[in-house]
């Protein structure tokens, strides 16, 4: 399975092609659904462009995507950097139960290293929303093994935060080894310089994986900015990219983009 992650926690002004609004996210969902993508992981924004767990922005984004790609699994984040208080996060998640079915997420990601992750999982399960467990390190993997996989979990996200393309795959192997056999599927992915090497490793080992602007703005060789999520997904699937997309490519990081990450807006712990 290939999941698309179209925006992530990147700043709203990081690159014009990164979708932030319900309309633009729905457009990208429709495009990648046509390529065979069946899962779409988004970070909804409010009207000010800030990440939000409030039911309003969640419902607006999910509803728009659902209309554009009715068969798509739609997931959202519950990350600590959006709402630091785990009890407030839990309350917001429970409010999602009031959303109409078409505007309610199918799944939501919960990072195992974040304080209160287990009560957030309980809240998601109580409102019938599946859980994606984010595991960033071998320590997270050990913690999850000790705690056990919560009820309602649909997959584990093995998220390699090492961005060096020469060492990211080795870190992926360490995380997978620490996880060991799991009762749910594992989706393995990397980020920035490690995104494409880890994706290739996942494909070679028949693991679910993902691709999109959340994980990288660049194409496989790292020298040009992708025209959109559709182009990234085409490369991830091994499909030919149309001349229309190729002609719109931009060269590598410009002066205003140099050094920007935008993947993780908080320290690791």
Other CB atoms within 10 Å distance of the CB of residue 76: 28
Q: According to the model, what pLDDT value does residue 223 have?
A: 87
CATH class of the domain at 2-251: alpha beta
Do 199 and 211 contact (CB within 8 A), yes or no? yes
DSSP symbols for 57-93 = HHHHHHHHHHHH-TT-EEEEE--TTT---HHHHHHHH
Give the residue extent of every domain in the chain. 2-251
Q: According to the model, what pLDDT value does residue 168 have?
A: 98
Helix axes 168-179, 138-147, angle to 10 degrees: 10
- Could you tell me the mean pLDDT of each successive run of 10 residues in the chain, 269 residues long? 98 94 98 98 96 98 99 98 97 98 98 98 98 98 97 99 97 98 98 98 97 97 93 89 56 44 46
DSSP character at residue 218: B
What global pTM score does this model have? 0.90
Q: According to the model, what pLDDT value does residue 256 have?
A: 39
Q: According to the model, what pLDDT value does residue 257 have?
A: 44
Residues 6+ apart with CB under 8 A from 227: 17, 245, 246, 248, 249, 250
């Amino acid at each position: 399975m290939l999941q698309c992650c179209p925006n992530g926690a990147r700043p709203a002004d990081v690159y014009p092609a990164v979708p932030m609004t319900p309309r633009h996210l729905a457009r990208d969902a429709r495009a990648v659904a046509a390529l065979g993508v069946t899962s779409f992981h988004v970070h909804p924004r409010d009207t000010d462009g800030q990440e939000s767990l409030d039911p309003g922005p969640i419902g607006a984004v999910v509803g728009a995507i659902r209309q554009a790609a009715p068969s798509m699994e739609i997931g959202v984040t519950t990350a600590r950097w959006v709402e630091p208080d785990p009890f407030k996060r839990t309350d917001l998640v429970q409010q999602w139960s009031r959303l109409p079915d078409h505007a309610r997420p199918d799944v939501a990601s919960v990072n195992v290293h974040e304080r209160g992750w287990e009560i957030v999982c309980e809240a998601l399960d109580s409102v019938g929303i599946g859980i994606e467990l984010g595991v960033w390190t071998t320590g997270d993997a050990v913690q999850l093994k000790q705690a056990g996989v919560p009820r309602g979990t649909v997959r584990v996200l093995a998220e390699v935060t090492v961005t060096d393309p020469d060492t990211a795959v080795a870190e992926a192997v360490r995380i997978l080894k620490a996880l060991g056999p799991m009762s749910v599927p594992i989706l393995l992915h990397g980020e920035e310089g490690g995104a494409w090497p880890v994706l290739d490793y996942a494909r070679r080992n028949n693991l679910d994986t993902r691709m999109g602007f959340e994980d990288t703005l660049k194409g496989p060789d790292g020298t040009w900015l992708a025209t959109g999520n559709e182009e990234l997904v085409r490369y991830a699937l091994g499909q030919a990219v149309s001349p229309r997309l190729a002609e719109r490519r931009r060269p590598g990081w410009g002066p205003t983009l140099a050094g920007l990450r935008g993947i993780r807006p908080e320290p690791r712990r």
